A and B are shown apart, each in its own frame.
Chain A
């Protein structure tokens, strides 16, 4: 079955960077977009950006431009999201989510989430 498995929880100091991985299985990794979505404690879902693993093309939400980098490795079917210049406001659960269908406009499969904590 289609599955996305993310790396474990992280605790980072303010100003540091974090890199979260998302390993896909059960489908051809290059055939679907991978999105990243985060959720601060007690808050809603926030879309961060998207990557096309086939060609490496990416598109980031405006509020993360210059601070986020999404990459993918088709040899290991793994997507990565790196967020830099961390502040306490970046404390959140970070999810990867597969784009559904050919357009990728919705999310048909989600990873289990990775908690990133940035103590103030």
Chain B
């Protein structure tokens, strides 16, 4: 089935921009969704359909998708952004929803 690859960890200083990659074969042809999961909590969608932001999610969160890599960018990073982030797609061949392995974002 379709495989999504994420770096296990990303570190960023407060106020800087964090970029979290999600790799997959021709992922640019798919719609990518991103979730934030803080410690001990359920995941929350922060980006859907590549670059759409749900109501209540700050404009600092943005998404892009092209070629073999989708990217979640978080600008002006705050301590409260520290969390695990997961990308997710729908695999049309298997009709499965697929998650990446997750990336732990650390705010230095």
Contact = CB atoms under 8 A, between A and B. Distances in A.
Interface residues of B, number: 25
A61 interface: yes
Given A46-B99, A59-B95, A105 B45 contact: no
A50 B42 contact: no
Interface string B30-47: 010101010000111100
A44 B48 contact: no
Nearest to B92: A105
A105 B99 contact: no
Chain A, interface residues (CB within 8 Å), range: 20 to 34
Contact of B94 (A37, A50, A62, A95): A62
A45 B88 CA distance: 10
Nearest to B49: A106
A47 B94 CA distance: 13
Nearest to B44: A110
A111 B42 contact: yes
A41 to B, nearest CB: 12
Given A105-B33, A106-B48, A110-B44, A47 B97 contact: yes
Nearest to B100: A44
Contacts of A110: 42-44
Contacts of B90: 103, 105-106
A100 B48 contact: yes
A109 to B, nearest CB: 8
A44 B42 contact: no
A106 B88 contact: yes
B102 A44 contact: yes
A97 B33 CA distance: 14
Interface of B: 1, 31, 33, 35, 37, 42-45, 48-49, 54, 84, 86, 88, 90, 94-102
